[in-house]
Amino acid sequence: MDKGQVIKALSGFYYIHSEEGHIYQTRARGIFRKDNITPLVGDHVYFTYGTDKEGTLEDILPRKNELKRPPVSNVDVGVVVMSISDPDFSVSLLDRNLVTLEYNDIEPVIYVTKTDIASEETYLDIKLICEAYEKIGYTVILPEQGVVLTSEEIHDLLRPKLEKKTSVFMGQSGAGKSTLLNKMDRTLELKTGETSKSLGRGRHTTRHVELVPMLGGLIADTPGFSAIQFEVIDEQELPTCFPEIWEHGKDCRFSGCIHQNEPNCAVKAAVDSGEIEAFRYKNYLSLLEEVQNRKPKYGKKGDRR
């Protein structure tokens, strides 16, 4: 059997990039459906083939991680694309994306789009927010206000983070993921959509996930979405997905402190002193309440750190 990686799943076919660099069209063995297993883009697999159009996906190797929305596995880096306006920059949505990446041990990169059309006032407001995320330790790419970047300049900004990695572009619909990727590689011709004026969010324009070679790695363009539901994470795991809350939480009086109503909470003290941004703590509490009010589900990922 040969070994490769699934780079596209479409209409029941799985397209596998072999270690030799060839692309094979395959169908999954019937046992996967029987066992309720769905191969994902990003899976490392074993396969057999007669021709490059007639192959069989035989076995899936253990996954490093997997995302359900978008459905992709073995991701190293997640680029969260946030627009500076139209749709408006949302720290709430950004934090939901960051929590998803942190929980799955995926390195986040924040990329801000539409800075070329932003007013100076809006740009300075978003710059302050970006500096807060950089202080936490996140990589933030904020192009200069009023400047249209060339493809080469975008490459220079992203290559150090994406080279030799499998990456996903995710974030708010209408934020410009497909536009950004098209500028990075003009052969992609990914469909783009304008932001819906009535809903304030973009139309979903990307119909399937595909890994494409770019910047020395593999990059997926993924369907945009405006909300992430936390179906597995529990209240003890959530603090680990906010790096600054996790660090300050080590100094709490109670080891099981979830930084909500407990006394002698180092996290709340850090918020009061300005060491933790108030908006981050507010978003944390909102997600914590969502997790606590979620209907019970069986199964748990277990300790992460």
Domain range list for the chain: 2-60, 66-221, 238-293
Of 211 and 70, more confident: 211
Average pLDDT over residues 142-158: 95
* Cα end-to-end distance, the chain, whole Å: 36
Q: Give the pLDDT confidence score for residue 297 in this predicted structure.
A: 55
Q: Give the pLDDT confidence score for residue 296 in this predicted structure.
A: 66
User: Does residue 97 surpass a pLDDT of 80?
Assistant: yes
CA angle 22-25-27, nearest 5°?
140
User: Does residue 5 surpass a pLDDT of 60?
Assistant: yes
Structure tokens that stand for 247 in this block = 């660090």
Cite the beta strand spans of the chain per DSSP E: 2-10, 13-18, 23-28, 44-51, 54-60, 66-67, 72-73, 77-83, 107-113, 139-141, 166-171, 210-214, 217-221
Amino acid identity for residue 121 in this structure:
E
User: Does residue 99 surpass a pLDDT of 80?
Assistant: yes
Give 24's strand partners: 16
| Burial environment of residue 108 by CB neighbours within 10 A (0 to 12, 13 to 18, 19 or more) | buried
Average pLDDT over residues 201-213: 62
pTM of the model: 0.85
Under the banding of pLDDT at 50, 70 and 90, the label for residue 171 is: confident
- The class (CATH top level) of 2-60 is mainly beta
User: Does residue 301 surpass a pLDDT of 60?
Assistant: no
Q: Give the pLDDT confidence score for residue 210 in this predicted structure.
A: 85
Other C-beta atoms closer than 10 Å to the C-beta of 240 total 17
Average pLDDT over residues 18-44: 93
- How far is Cα 284 from Cα 254, in angstroms, rounded to an integer? 19
Of 263 and 68, more confident: 263
Average pLDDT over residues 261-279: 97
- How far is Cα 104 from Cα 178, in angstroms, rounded to an integer? 24
Distance between alpha carbon 137 and the CA centroid of its chain, in Å?
17
CA atoms within 13 A on the CB side of 136: 25
CATH code for the structural domain at 238-293: 1.10.40.50
Q: Give the pLDDT confidence score for residue 119 in this predicted structure.
A: 95
Max Cα-Cα span within the chain: 67
Mean pLDDT for all residues in the chain: 87
User: What are the counts of helices (DSSP H) followed by strands (DSSP E) for the chain?
Assistant: 8, 13
User: Does residue 303 surpass a pLDDT of 80?
Assistant: no
> 14-23, 122-131, 296-305: which has the minimum mean pLDDT?
296-305
Q: Give the model confidence (pLDDT) of 237-256 as tens digits.
A: 999 999 999 999 999 999 99
Give 217's strand partners: 214
- DSSP letter at 41 equals B
Decide which of 3.40.50.2000, 3.40.640.10, 3.40.50.300, 3.30.420.40 is the CATH code for 66-221. Answer: 3.40.50.300
Q: Give the pLDDT confidence score for residue 181 in this predicted structure.
A: 86
User: Does residue 189 surpass a pLDDT of 70?
Assistant: no
Average pLDDT over residues 219-245: 78
Q: Give the pLDDT confidence score for residue 206 in this predicted structure.
A: 45
Q: Hey, which of 70-74, 77-81, 175-179 has the most confident mean pLDDT?
A: 77-81
